[in-house]
Structure 1
Amino acid sequence: MKCKSCGLEKDPSLFYESDKKTCKDCVKARVRKNREERIEYYREFDRNRANNPERVQARKEYLSTEAGKESKQKTIRKYKENNPKKRAIHITTGNAIRDGKLTKGLCEVCGTDDNIVAHHCDYDKPLDVTWLCAIHHTEWHKENGEGENAH
């Protein structure tokens, strides 16, 4: 079969059943380009979809299964392997809180004491933290990006 997008002759198995005119590679490239061009729309769409009560419940139920528990543990292991410096700083921060060398404060944006996290602008300074609630921590990263030294 010949793909109408790339013009290459390809095996029929390289086309989706629903679209026998465009090969899978071209369809995937078009979808990636569309998402990249409309990233803000898709981020909002993904957030709304993730917060749908039925999907929240489905995730909760899945995480209570053996497969869900294994998947979560695999994700945690992968994070630890891919972020050894961040992981070490998280441990250092947790130990400092436990040992009384660092005291959790209120969110520096809204003043709440609910769900406070230690935000590190510089991982080379493990005890130099900004206390933020989970909401403002997420907002900080949306506004400032996820650089190597940002958490």
Structure 2
Amino acid sequence: MKTCADCGRTVSGDRMKRNARGRTGRICKACDAARARKHYWHDVDATRLRRREIRNADLHRYRGYRRASRLRHLERERARCREYARSERGRAVNRLAVARWQSANPEKVAASRELRRAVQRGVVRKPTVCEILDCTRAGILHGHHQDYRRPRDVVFACSRHHEEIHHREPLRLKDGRLARAPSPSQRVNAPLDSDLASGQVHELHAVEPIWAAGVTEVICKPRR
């Protein structure tokens, strides 16, 4: 049993704070946590900035810690994420994130909506399985655009292969073609060769937001 130098309580050795050498310190863990909270909130902005600088100095190692911790407590982390997503704050944060993404990526929003309309009208036929070679996953398939200026020219892939195309490397399709990530320089208002030949040049039209204040949808329409 040990006596805490701060609160004066007598506690067991495993409830005492240990120093950097692993030896039992002079205060208990509860008092050490209270000190840490007091120090954190004394100048919260400076504390957060200092922690952010320390983390960014060795970002790869800290991400490894986080990844290893998540794998050790995978079910607990998934349950926590599901609970947060269903909460009012989680829904509000998700709506804000979606609004920011739509505002920053108008060409992707326009291409996705045009593809959705084409599938609903039967202009584009959606397969039942992933189009990536040696993949037989069925169910929810993502329409991958290799060129956002051609919203109906897509590859339907499962979520895992869709992510690999964007963040890893091109993948071979079952018909022999390669599915590549779109070029960062592509913009929805960049005219196609066929548009230049026919005299139709695309322009951006802003319309009123649907649900989020300050979010503007951008739709690609031919100039009359």
Q: Same fold (TM over 0.5)?
A: yes
Q: 1:97 aligns with which of 83, 106, 119?
A: 119
- Structure number with greater CO (CA < 8 Å, separation at least 6) is 2
CA contact (8 A) 2:142 2:159 kept: yes
Structure of larger gyration radius? 2
Spell out the pairing of 1:1-150 with structure 2 (5 A cutoff).
Answer: 17=39, 28-35=52-59, 38=60, 42=63, 45-46=66-67, 49=70, 52-105=74-127, 106-109=129-132, 110-144=135-169, 147-148=183-184, 149=186
**How far, CA to CA, are the matches of 1:71 and 1:112 in structure 2?**
31
Richer in helix (by share): 1
2:29 counterpart residue number? none
TM superposition shift of 1:42: 3.0
Which amino acid in structure 2 is aligned with residue 85 of structure 1?
E
Q: Secondary structure at the match of 1:131?
A: strand
Whose strand proportion is higher, 1 or 2? Answer: 2
Deviation at 1:46, TM superposition (A): 3.8
Q: What code does the residue aligned with 1:81 have?
A: S
CA distance in 2, matches of 1:100, 1:58: 40
- Mapped to 2, the partners of 1:134 and 1:48 lie a distance apart of 25
Q: CA offsets, 1:49-84, max 9 Å, x none?
A: 288211111111122221122111111111111111
SS class of match (1:118): strand
* Partner Cα separation in structure 2 for residue 96 and residue 42 of structure 1: 41
Cα distance in 2 for partners of 1:74, 1:83 equals 14
2: CA distance between counterparts of 1:85 and 1:112?
A: 28
What amino acid maps onto 2:131 in structure 1? E
Q: Unmatched 5+ residue regions in structure 2?
A: 1-38, 41-45, 170-180, 187-224
Aligned residues: 127
Tell me the secondary structure at the aligned position of residue 124 of structure 1: coil
Aligned-residue CA RMSD in angstroms? 3.1
Identity of aligned residues (%): 22
CA distance in 2, matches of 1:59, 1:115: 22
- TM-score scaled by structure 1? 0.68
TM-score, reference length from structure 2 = 0.48
